A and B are shown apart, each in its own frame.
Chain A
């Protein structure tokens, strides 16, 4: 994850330009993400075309695997800088569309100077001037990495996702989690947890994906809007068809569970027997954690909870809104091992 030389040279430039004092002795996390196309098999055998992120060892290495959600980015304690070097392989050839898609990156809760991109006159003159990306873009098939940098990475749980056509790209799967601990065993200053697990929610409307993959989504095409969004698959850490999920604590003590919702619908993570202490929301530690057995997790929301047990324990939970994938049979899904 560290490429010290490159980091230093880039930081020098960044520091001169932006915030020299903070950067003076900051280490940086460097991640090489690639946006690419993959196919996912749902629990009922349905194949869905997804766009997602892979983590490569370097730009152009293409040695990572596209996953839904994208690779979790862990910023080490003490690092305040995150650099994501983006390789965009969403070309016309890879996507099967008449043109490739640019991709940008945003992380709500972490600041970066956004440079929005507007539509030009082509190919849709009627949309000229309209913003299509919240941030600078990596063009499809970019020959060199486009680097997105955040200089104020605070401890917390965050969501990264494509800031380009987000109504399209987020549905397609271009999202993942960013986490940072304050220190080992200390997710936030003064908040302690022995182990942790990540629970990442997202959704798939297969009709949208098939229309997108067949170039039938867009202005003037058979599907011109996402207004009829109707997800049929509800994913927990990319797994469809589960009706409940389990964290195995492995030992007595406290487990931090980081809940992230990249879906378009609110969730209500509910615990069966345990109370969860809601210790943080949107990457901010709460002064007064609240004990809950169910809570709302809105789209784009992150909430961190701590469950403390006196013995190794199975922590069962589910979305109390009752949304489970179509044709799901009772299923626990892959047990998450708290680590």
Chain B
């Protein structure tokens, strides 16, 4: 059976607008490259789907727009990187700094009183310069090393990716080969801290009472995670988090926990193979490849830590033909052939008995959108399979007590040939 009726024309058009996020020039992990960077720590405003706006501090490119989280640094192994940080934060923020865990950093300029972790850019326009080499490929992070109890929650965090010389790999190992890569940078926010810092009441905020009610992926809360990157209605949050792939592809998940809590990030649809932590392949001494890799369906990353995993999906194990093929139909690319032509095991209810989600295509089959009542569905024009990927600490799927939201997105398995080539 190959349903060809495509209803919900209106929804289709709307959803196409969303899908433009992928676009022809598909820098799926947005970021900046180079070896010399001018950063400013600045105050700005982020907004979340409950309608709130949040006073936020973040690292930005000097002269560029305010953005949260800080720019994702996309570097190449072996480079020497220089970052000059200017402190444009308001007076109540005090000094600010950047740390790059796992890297030997030389800091010049700035101020470095005893008891501080790292040399800092003084409040009121002070600068400090950090220089370091990135010898090893992997997923890393940066964040403020100053008053971390306040500044991390305020937003002073970012991702750093170091690519190996071999394209299409995360590490110098074929086990890290991928077709598409996505970033999952986890953060949370306690608005009490943000409001206090906006009111310059820095000395009175009790960060031991930390109680976040906002949770983000790449700086956005669901459903904004699934809006396009650089959406003009989210000027301070340019990065989306909307993993999409075709069957048979290898998706690299780069997960970074920049929050103060751990988040059990659960990916429906399949296990993933964890191949690296903190920028180091899970490889035994003398071993080859990620021979210590682990298979898991919920990835909980330590605060300040990073983790890389490979996610694959073909529909294997479902026990029915995801395309709704007849046994005599030709197979699709990367189809799980043992299930070819096996019938869908459920009698579908009538439309009147259904409630439609925005991602329902109108049929249970991949690449086969079906009938939808007017105004229903519409966010899944190619008839992909949607898997909710989210913090399984379920309260973190809210935006200030409103469900759904928070640390959540959907992974869309798109039918073959619909996504731009990797």
Contacts and interface: CB of A to CB of B under 8 A. Distances in A.
A294 B278 contact: yes
A320 B102 contact: no
A318 interface: yes
A18 interface: no
Nearest to A273: B104
B303 interface: yes
B115 A321 contact: no
B105 A231 contact: no
Given A293-B278, A294-B304, A331-B115, A270 B208 contact: no
Interface string A253-289: 0000000000000101011110100000000000010
Contact of A291 (B103, B145, B280, B284): B280
B262 interface: yes
Contacts of B206: 232, 326
Contacts of A275: 102, 278, 280
Given A292-B278, A330-B113, A231 B208 contact: yes
A332 B114 contact: yes
A272 B302 contact: no
Interface string B135-149: 000000000011111
A19 interface: no
A198 to B, nearest CB: 21
Contacts of B152: 322
B278 A291 contact: yes
B402 interface: no
Nearest to A297: B302
Contact of A294 (B153, B208, B282, B302): B302
A322 B101 contact: no
A292 B149 CA distance: 22
B104 to A, nearest CB: 5
A173 B332 CA distance: 65
B101 A294 contact: yes
B260 interface: yes
Given A272-B99, A272-B118, A326 B304 contact: no
Given A293-B101, A324-B149, A288 B292 contact: yes
A230 B206 CA distance: 11
B26 to A, nearest CB: 31
A290 B115 contact: no
What range describes how many residues of A lie at the interface? 20 to 34
B261 interface: yes
B115 A332 contact: yes
A248 interface: no
A323 B149 contact: yes
A152 interface: no
Nearest to A234: B208
A243 B97 CA distance: 15
B302 A318 contact: no
B11 to A, nearest CB: 43
B209 interface: yes
Interface residues of B, number: 39
Given A230-B209, A268-B302, A273-B105, A322 B115 contact: no
Contacts of B292: 288, 290
B116 interface: yes
A324 B262 CA distance: 17
Interface string B293-317: 0000000101111000000000000
B194 interface: no
A290 B207 CA distance: 31
Nearest to B287: A288
B277 interface: yes
B117 interface: yes
Interface of B is mostly: loop
A259 B3 CA distance: 60
A330 B278 contact: no
A273 B206 CA distance: 29
Contacts of B209: 230
Given A272-B117, A325-B208, A330-B116, A295 B305 contact: yes
A316 interface: yes
Interface in B272-288: 277-278, 280, 282, 284-285
A268 B305 contact: yes
A65 B121 CA distance: 44
Contacts of A323: 149, 207-208, 210, 260
Given A230-B209, A266-B262, A324-B149, A293 B114 contact: no
A143 to B, nearest CB: 42
A270 B304 contact: yes
Contacts of B113: 330
Contact of B148 (A234, A292, A295, A322): A322
A296 B147 contact: no
A336 to B, nearest CB: 15
A294 B305 contact: yes
Nearest to B100: A273
B81 to A, nearest CB: 15
Contacts of B103: 273
A326 B208 CA distance: 7
Contacts of B115: 243-244, 329-332
Contacts of B261: 321
A58 B343 CA distance: 79
A270 B103 CA distance: 13
A332 B112 CA distance: 13
A289 B280 CA distance: 12
A9 to B, nearest CB: 48
A296 B102 contact: no
Contacts of B285: 288
A275 B207 CA distance: 28
Interface string A307-339: 000000000101011111110011110000000
Contacts of B99: 272
Which residue among A271, A293, A324 has the maximum number of chain B CB atoms within 10 Å of its CB? A293
Contacts of A288: 284-285, 292
B208 A232 contact: yes
Contacts of B145: 272
Contacts of A322: 148-149, 152-153, 207, 210, 260, 303
A321 B143 CA distance: 13
Which A-B residue pairs are the 3 nearest by beta carbons?
A320-B304, A294-B304, A268-B303
Interface of A: 230-232, 234, 243-244, 266, 268, 270-273, 275, 288, 290-296, 316, 318, 320-326, 329-332
18 contacts: A243-B147, A268-B302, A273-B102, A288-B284, A291-B280, A293-B278, A293-B305, A294-B303, A294-B305, A295-B302, A296-B262, A296-B302, A316-B117, A318-B117, A318-B148, A323-B208, A324-B148, A330-B116
Given A273-B105, A290-B280, A322-B153, 8 more contacts: A230-B208, A270-B101, A288-B285, A288-B292, A318-B148, A320-B260, A322-B152, A324-B207
